[in-house]
Amino acid sequence: MVSGTKRGSLLGTLGLVAALAGGSAQAQDPYARERESLLEEIKAMARETGTETGRAVFSVRVMAAMAKVQRHRFVPASYGPLAYANRPLPIGHGQTISQPYIVALMTELLEINPSDAVLEVGTGSGYQAAVLAELARQVYSIEIIEPVGKRAATLLEELGYRNIETRIGDGYNGWPEHAPFDAIVVTAAAPRIPPALVAQLKPGGRMVIPVGAEGDVQFLHVMLKRTDGSISTQRSLPVRFVPLTRSN
């Protein structure tokens, strides 16, 4: 039996250890609190937009991926203080890193399984690819702007992602060498869904893509290819993405 005096001393010691451990964890990850706040904001936005998206609550797997990927590694150093703000940020060459809520939503709508191969059109900063890689067996990511794609590829390798393969090229044509894909996500707006991407989607697969001409209202579309090859498409939230760039 522990006496009252000893119990108080013991509890005080345990409290000090816990405080030191918490301080150590914060020192190791100075963005931990910002990331936690961002996750709560994503959950709140999911509830607010649930009627439009059909996803008022995001899956545990998706939220765990969002919690694990360190967004501050993917933004320019000058924007470090805004790394966990729930907003897009410029990354150079007229490109942006998407709003975290939109990254989470698009990932949720893909319904990725651990055995899936996923195609991403528009590597950008590499942030969306990293989130996908936490959920899928393999991610293939295409970026048409060479310096942007090379920078993302270098960072993803530094961060230890071995299940992401990148290339520089025109994502409008997909990546036929690795098709068909269980899921496809496009991180730039196209005036229409590219036929090549539809062809490279497996029966039973899903594609998430913003659709709308430059200057027009864009909407997020969720396309399902049924097992018989027929297509169904559902329009989701209004969004704003950079245009999908073509090589010609």
Tokens of 14: 């345990």
> Is 232 considered catalytic here?
no
**H or E element in which residue 34 lies:** helix 32-53
Q: What is the DSSP string of 45-94?
A: HHHHHHHHHS-SS--HHHHHHHHHS-GGGTS-GGGGGGTTSSS-EEEETT
Of 98, 125, 141, 236, the active-site residue reads: 98
**CA 9 vs CA 1, 18, 19, 21: distances in Å:** 14, 14, 15, 18
Catalogue the active-site residues: 98
